[in-house]
């Protein structure tokens, strides 16, 4: 009986050795397909505690992330912005492939926390309030940039980065580049390209490039001919002094 048990374990090891190349190949393919990109390291262990880490190791990352997200929501209701940022960090570490978590974390930081910092009655100094607001803008941007590094194959976070750079940083060149990146994905909505053109038009020195870009969009057909695009083209034609014969024949 003991001999059979030993033989079984030896056979198991032989089988294990034969499977190693297959396991390595599956792991490589999974990595190439952006699976299992979570870094289960000591930093995460400190954030989520021993039981949480054990759960994450055992393949229960997603429910754990959901529970922590609910906790972050409670922190939001109590306007505990610092705690929220910490929880968002943990959630996004656990579920780096979830666009929603990165997007919402960035939005909470750059839109909600930043406004709260600016309206903070406990802080009499306006300079310090502005500083805190900018720090939250930056935190939002960090979330989106890290999200993009983890999801380079999806357009949504590039789009959100464009919106953040446009609305909070007034970085029109950066916003145009982000919108263009988003527009490069086949499943991206058509407005990404228009947004890139609008932002390009706000960049000093790039007016001609923006005009050509928007004109090309206009010539694509009715779907792109929205009032904002038409008005902007008219403005640019005047600004760039485009000869009447070369101007677009828009209503």
Partner 1 sequence: MKVFYFLLIFALLIIGGSAFVAKFSFQEQFQMLKDISLGAMSVFTSILAILATANFLPKDIEDRTIYTILAKPVPRFSYLLGKLIGIFLLLALAILLMTGLFLAVLWLQERGVLAETRAQLQGGSAEDLALALKEVTNSTFNANLFPGIVIILVKSALLAAMTLFLSTFASSGLFAILMASALYFIGHLQATAREYWLAGGDISWWTRALAGGVALVFPDLQAFNFVDDVIAGVAVPTGLFVQVMALGGLYVAVYFALAAMVFSGREL
Angle at 118 between CA 114 and CA 124, to 5 degrees: 145
Distances (CA, A) of 116 to 108, 110, 119, 151: 10, 10, 5, 29
Q: How far is the CB of 53 from partner 1 (least distance, A)?
A: 12
* Residue 216 contacts partner 1 per CB under 8 A: no
4 binds partner 1 (CB under 8 A): yes
Inter-CA distances, 202 with 174, 191, 197, 198, 208, Å = 11, 17, 9, 7, 11
- 34 makes contact with partner 1 (CB under 8 A): yes
Site for partner 1 in 145-184 (CB under 8 A): 154
Contact between 183 and 193 (Cβ < 8 Å): yes
Output DSSP code: residue 167. Answer: I
Shorter beta-carbon distance to partner 1: residue 6 or 115: 6
When asked if residue 49 is in the footprint of partner 1 (CB under 8 A), the reply is no
* Site membership for partner 1, residue 128 (CB under 8 A): no
Contact between 42 and partner 1 by CB under 8 A: the answer reads no
119 contact partners, CB below 8 Å, separation of at least 6: none
Among 43, 46, 79, 100, binds partner 1 (CB under 8 A): 100
Sequence-separated (6 or more) residues with CB below 8 Å from residue 209: 200
Q: What is the residue whose two structure tokens read 């024949």?
A: 249
Q: Does 74 bind partner 1 (CB under 8 A)?
A: no
Q: By CB under 8 A, is residue 127 in contact with partner 1?
A: no
Query: What gap in Å lies between CA 191 and CA 17, rounded to an integer?
Result: 53
Choose the binding region for partner 1 from 7-15, 211-219, 231-239, 240-248 (rule: CB under 8 A).
7-15
Tell me if 17 contacts partner 1 by CB under 8 A.
Answer: yes
95 near partner 1, judged by CB under 8 A: yes
Site for partner 1 contains 57 (CB under 8 A): yes
The verdict on 223 binding partner 1 (CB under 8 A) reads: no
Of the pair 59, 204, the CB lying nearest partner 1 is at 59
- Residue number with CB closer to partner 1 (13 or 216): 13
Task: Report, in Å, the least distance between residue 17 CB and partner 1.
Answer: 6
CA dist 159 and 245 (Å) reads 36
Angle of CA points 62, 66, 71, to nearest 5°: 145
Helical H segments across 95-125, by residue range: 99-107, 114-118
For partner 1, the binding residue among 45, 71, 99, 169 (CB under 8 A) is 99
For partner 1, the binding residues (CB under 8 A) are: 1, 4-5, 7-9, 11-13, 15-17, 19-20, 22-27, 29-30, 33-38, 54, 57-66, 69-70, 73, 95, 97-101, 104, 154
């Amino acid at each position: 009986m003991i001999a059979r048990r030993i033989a079984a374990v030896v056979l198991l090891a032989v089988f294990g050795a034969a499977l190693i190349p297959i396991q390595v190949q599956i792991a490589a393919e999974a990595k190439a397909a952006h699976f299992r990109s979570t870094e289960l390291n000591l930093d995460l262990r400190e954030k989520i505690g021993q039981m949480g880490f054990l759960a994450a190791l055992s393949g229960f990352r997603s429910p754990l992330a959901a529970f922590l997200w609910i906790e972050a929501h409670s922190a939001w209701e109590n306007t505990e912005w610092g705690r929220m940022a910490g929880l968002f960090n943990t959630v996004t570490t656990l579920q780096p492939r979830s666009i929603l978590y990165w997007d919402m974390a960035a939005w909470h930081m750059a839109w909600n926390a930043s406004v709260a910092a600016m309206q903070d009655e406990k802080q009499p100094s306006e300079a310090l309030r502005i500083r805190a607001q900018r720090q939250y803008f930056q935190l939002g941007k960090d979330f989106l940039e890290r999200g993009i590094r983890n999801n380079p194959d999806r357009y949504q976070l590039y789009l959100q980065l464009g919106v953040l750079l446009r609305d909070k940083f007034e970085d029109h060149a950066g916003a145009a580049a982000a919108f263009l990146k988003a527009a490069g994905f086949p499943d991206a909505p058509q407005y990404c390209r228009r947004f890139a053109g609008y932002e390009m038009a706000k960049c000093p020195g790039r007016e001609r490039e923006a005009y050509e870009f928007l004109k090309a969009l206009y010539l694509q057909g009715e779907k792109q001919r929205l009032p904002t695009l038409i008005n902007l083209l008219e403005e640019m034609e005047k600004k760039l002094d485009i000869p009447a014969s070369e101007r677009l024949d828009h209503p």
